[in-house]
């Protein structure tokens, strides 16, 4: 098979409440895919799902039972995308062990369990979300750097073990996905400073990340790869 499109394909998007997830879901549905947005609370996902024409499901990556329960009732899937993140930022001296474990559950252990329970149903690929913090560590970001770095190695390991199912990772740089709204009045200055430092002289949009994600999902010759969609931010 040559490069495919998402038309007629079944996608499960875990961490479906993220801004990037919403863009990917909308683009995939527009391309003709059937999409399920999964998250800890399907009711919170319902308005977005209705808007883009997706179904909802409950998957909490800290809860293996929720993944097994989804697998038990799911039909075949073409692609599984995991965007979940539960950052545990702060100085090492102040880290909370439970928060660190939750961060690893969202990015590393949870995706491993998705592979455990869903790989038998998957015909195409898994796509895991990493992040630029792994390649640009900063004080207070040790857990974020380590979880995102682990995602890249997990994609390589799973690509070998689950073959011919493909497994890739996508590492976004700073993207105005909604998660930076928490900076309030400081958001615009943060995005402007990041853009000025990036070789591409811009921050990213969910649409740009969605386009890269769809490329990884539909190119049958790409597996075990981390695609950096970061404006060169890891080099800045």
List interacting residues with ligand NAP (CB under 6 A): 14-15, 17-20, 39-41, 44, 59-62, 83-86, 105-106, 129, 131-132, 172, 174-175, 177-179
Which backbone phi and psi does 91 adopt, to 5 degrees?
Answer: -60, 145
Nearest approach in angstroms of CB 109 to ligand NAP is 10
Name the residue nearer to ligand NAP (CB basis): 139 or 221.
139
What are the DSSP E strand ranges found in the chain?
10-14, 34-39, 55-58, 77-82, 122-129, 166-172, 226-229
Contact, 218 vs 122, CB < 8 A?
Answer: no
Nearest approach in angstroms of CB 200 to ligand NAP is 14
> 210-216 — which CB contacts under 8 Å span 24+ positions?
210/20, 210/23, 210/24, 210/26, 210/27, 211/27, 212/170, 213/20, 213/24, 213/81, 213/127, 213/170, 214/6, 214/24, 214/27, 214/28, 214/31, 216/125, 216/127, 216/168, 216/170
Q: Which residues contact 226 (CB under 8 A, 6 or more apart)?
A: 130, 151, 152, 155, 168, 169, 170, 171
Nearest approach in angstroms of CB 35 to ligand NAP is 15
Nearest approach in angstroms of CB 20 to ligand NAP is 4
Name the residue nearer to ligand NAP (CB basis): 4 or 101.
101
Name the residue nearer to ligand NAP (CB basis): 159 or 213.
213
Nearest approach in angstroms of CB 15 to ligand NAP is 4
Question: Closest residue (Cβ) to ligand NAP?
Answer: 131
Name the residue nearer to ligand NAP (CB basis): 11 or 106.
106
Name the residue nearer to ligand NAP (CB basis): 4 or 58.
58
Name the residue nearer to ligand NAP (CB basis): 52 or 61.
61
Nearest approach in angstroms of CB 216 to ligand NAP is 13
Nearest approach in angstroms of CB 126 to ligand NAP is 14
Burial 133-145 (b: 16+ CB within 10 A, else e): bbbeeeeebbbbb
Residue with tokens 């928060």: 99
Name the residue nearer to ligand NAP (CB basis): 84 or 212.
84
């Amino acid at each position: 098979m040559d490069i495919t499109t998402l038309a007629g394909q079944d996608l499960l998007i875990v961490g479906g409440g993220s801004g990037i997830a919403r863009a990917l879901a909308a683009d995939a549905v527009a391309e003709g895919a059937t999409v399920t947005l999964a998250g800890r609370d399907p009711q919170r996902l319902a308005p977005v799902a209705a808007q883009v024409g997706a179904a909802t499901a409950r998957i909490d990556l800290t809860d293996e039972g929720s993944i097994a329960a989804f697998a038990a009732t799911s039909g075949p899937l073409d692609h599984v995308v995991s965007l979940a993140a539960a950052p545990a930022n702060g100085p090492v001296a102040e880290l909370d062990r439970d928060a660190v474990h939750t961060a690893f559950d969202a990015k590393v252990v949870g995706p491993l369990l998705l592979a455990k329970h869903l790989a038998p149903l998957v015909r195409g690929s898994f796509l895991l979300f990493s992040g630029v913090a792994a390649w640009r560590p900063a004080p207070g970001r040790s857990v974020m750097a380590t979880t995102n770095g682990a995602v890249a190695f997990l994609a390589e390991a799973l690509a070998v073990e689950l073959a011919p199912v493909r497994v890739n990772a996508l590492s976004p740089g700073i993207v105005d996905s909604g998660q930076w709204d928490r900076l309030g009045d400081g958001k615009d200055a943060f995005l402007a400073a990041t853009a000025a430092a990036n070789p591409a002289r811009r921050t990213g949009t969910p649409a740009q990340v969605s386009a890269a994600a769809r490329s990884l999902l539909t190119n049958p010759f790409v597996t075990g790869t981390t695609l950096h969609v970061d404006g060169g931010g890891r080099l800045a």
